A and B are shown apart, each in its own frame.
Chain A
Amino acid sequence: SQQGEEDPQALSIQEGENATMNCSYKTSINNLQWYRQNSGRGLVHLILIRSNEREKHSGRLRVTLDTSKKSSSLLITASRAADTASYFCATAPGNNDMRFGAGTRLTVKP
């Protein structure tokens, strides 16, 4: 069963614009992770944010976490065509194994 739900399901933007994706989850967590997947390939880890953190940055990526609302957002600034991919959030409720949302399909047009 899935734990996280990403929103929107699909997002199309122009190169240089910012892209924001949201994730909601159901139960308490120790951390939340974001992954990227290029078409038909393995997932690449982007950021891990712990439950006691509110915001984390990595290059052009900014992740926020609001545990009171059980939600997280991923912001990609100054997007590039190479950012075209599916983005997933993942959590491990109760320290069980990681469950992934359905993902947001991001298309960045050159």
Chain B
Amino acid sequence: KAGVTQTPRYLIKTRGQQVTLSCSPISGHRSVSWYQQTPGQGLQFLFEYFSETQRNKGNFPGRFSGRQFSNSRSEMNVSTLELGDSALYLCASSSFGRGQDTQYFGPGTRLTVL
């Protein structure tokens, strides 16, 4: 099976802009989770989608949003970018989600906000 893919791999934006990141899960996986990783805060959970429904959301402002399509592909959007949004954004897919089984991670999207 093909692994989890994320596009784009690198992105440079300026403050105030918005960005959309994409994640294609492993075929057959219905759960997609998103994480933000920074040197200062480590890996922080953003949200999880399962069968097109957001099941859980982390402690992030409303500028961070996401969605999942019927083919389980997921996108996350960050509006009104701030310098502090510079991070590695990781998505992970699994069959059941909620930590019940192994999560398979994509390579990440490195976002730099100038």
Contact = CB atoms under 8 A, between A and B. Distances in A.
A48 interface: yes
Given A97-B56, A102-B42, A43 B98 contact: no
A48 B102 contact: yes
Interface in A86-102: 88, 90-92, 95-102
A22 B17 CA distance: 41
B106 A92 contact: no
B92 A43 contact: yes
A33 interface: yes
Given A2-B42, A97-B33, A97-B56, A44 B100 contact: no
Interface in B89-114: 90, 92, 97-108, 110
Nearest to A46: B102
A1 B56 contact: no
B21 interface: no
A98 B42 contact: no
B99 A1 contact: no
A30 B105 contact: no
Contacts of B105: 35, 42-45
A31 interface: yes
Given A1-B59, A45-B105, A48-B102, 4 more contacts: A41-B108, A92-B98, A95-B100, A97-B97
